Amino acid sequence: MEILVYGTINSVSLALMGLGFAMVYGISRVPNFAHGALYIICGFVTWILFHSLGLPYFMAIILSLCVNGILGMLMYRFVLIRVRGMNISEIIASYAIGLVILEGLRFGGFRGMTYTLPAFMEGSLMIGDVPVDYHRIIMTIIGISLVAGLWLFTHYTKIGLALQGMAQDERAALMLGIDSDFMAMLAMGFGAVLAGVAATLILPLGNIVVESGYHVLIMSIAVCIVGGLGSWVGAFFAAFLIGYAQIITVVFIGSHFQMVVAILAIILTLILKPSGLFGQQKELEERV
């Protein structure tokens, strides 16, 4: 029972982390290695708005999500657009931006145990014989509804359909009058907002520490690769796979191995089936 409950919660938080990465990669083919940095910066912006400026919590969250979205778009507009299509430069550039943000925050004194966000709702609930606090339940519900909302968004709105068109075939989308650079910028913005949503949902469970930026990056890459780069439905299922695998390892082997499971999952998936569980790319493109 404990495995089931905490496995689901862990899976949903992994899915939240991975969605943004999957979305950006799926649409603009830019592996956004600054994802973890965007996640952390959203947490700190919320903290600053909430604690230093004294805004209401809900408004602080909305504002910081906007800030994050704009940051993501700026990052695309001024940096990534210039290296788009050059895989390695994309990785190095976005990773370097992530490093600048994360290490800049660390230098700016954002470290230690002092930075926490309050939970949405205090108290806890018994599911079967396992105590679960309300925040984790809210997180799970929001996470799942977010995925559903995203699915509806990409299937039934004009922008969503345009984004999907870009993801399927960029040249064809260009011919149909979809501005691919604008859409990619938008996707980057959405990705950043999703990273922010993940941050505001997950961070109240612990401290905001810079190190977790790297952790989030690794986990989102793990989720996306296992699910198949570019397929966020795959990412969602992969999150459940890795999430349960992690909880099972923690329960039966030890918490040290949690990270090992994720990294092992990446390596094994890449070796056995590089296009992932739900990958859209043909295998020939990435393998010889």
Partner 1 sequence: MSTQELRKERIDRGIKVRSDGLYALMSLRELSYLTLPRFILIAGMISLPFLMPGMYWQRVISIVCIYAVLALSFDFLSHYVGLVSLGGAFFIGTGGYVAGILNTYYGVPPVLTVPLAAAIGGIFCTLMLLPCLPLKGVYFAIVTLMYPLFMARIIEAFDIFGGTDGIVGIDSFSSAFVEQYFVVCMVLIFLFGLRRFVTTDRGLIFTAIMDNDQAVKASGINITKYKALAVFIASSMGCMAGACLTHIYMWSGISQFSIDFSILPIAATVIGGAGTLVGPILGCLILVPVSELLRDFGTLRIVFYASILVGFILFRSDGIMVFIQRKYEQFERWTKI
- What is the SS3 assignment for 130? strand
CA distance 134 to 112: 26
Q: How far is the CB of 74 from partner 1 (least distance, A)?
A: 13
CA distance 37 to 83: 20
Judged by CB, which is closer to partner 1: 4, or 260? 260
Contacts of 119 (CB under 8 A, 6+ apart): 133, 134, 135, 204, 205
Judged by CB, which is closer to partner 1: 139, or 226? 226
CA distance 47 to 27: 31
Q: How far is the CB of 175 from partner 1 (least distance, A)?
A: 26
Nearest CA to 47 out of 193, 209, 192, 195 is that of: 209
Residue 162's Cβ-side half-sphere holds a number of Cα atoms within 13 Å equal to 17
CA distance 7 to 251: 11
- What is the SS3 assignment for 109? coil
CA distance 3 to 15: 17
Chain residues in the site for partner 1 (CB under 8 A): 31, 79, 82-83, 87-89, 91-93, 95-97, 99-100, 103-104, 106-107, 214, 218, 221, 225, 229, 254, 256-257, 259-260, 263-264, 266-267, 270-271, 274, 286-288
CA distance 42 to 63: 10
DSSP state of 33: T
Q: How far is the CB of 19 from partner 1 (least distance, A)?
A: 18
CA distance 35 to 218: 10
Burial (0-12, 13-18, 19+ Cβ within 10 Å), 254: exposed
Judged by CB, which is closer to partner 1: 117, or 265? 265
Judged by CB, which is closer to partner 1: 155, or 287? 287
Q: How far is the CB of 96 from partner 1 (least distance, A)?
A: 4
R_g over Cα of the chain = 19
Q: How far is the CB of 278 from partner 1 (least distance, A)?
A: 16
Judged by CB, which is closer to partner 1: 179, or 283? 283
Q: How far is the CB of 11 from partner 1 (least distance, A)?
A: 21
Judged by CB, which is closer to partner 1: 105, or 163? 105
Q: How far is the CB of 234 from partner 1 (least distance, A)?
A: 15
Judged by CB, which is closer to partner 1: 89, or 145? 89
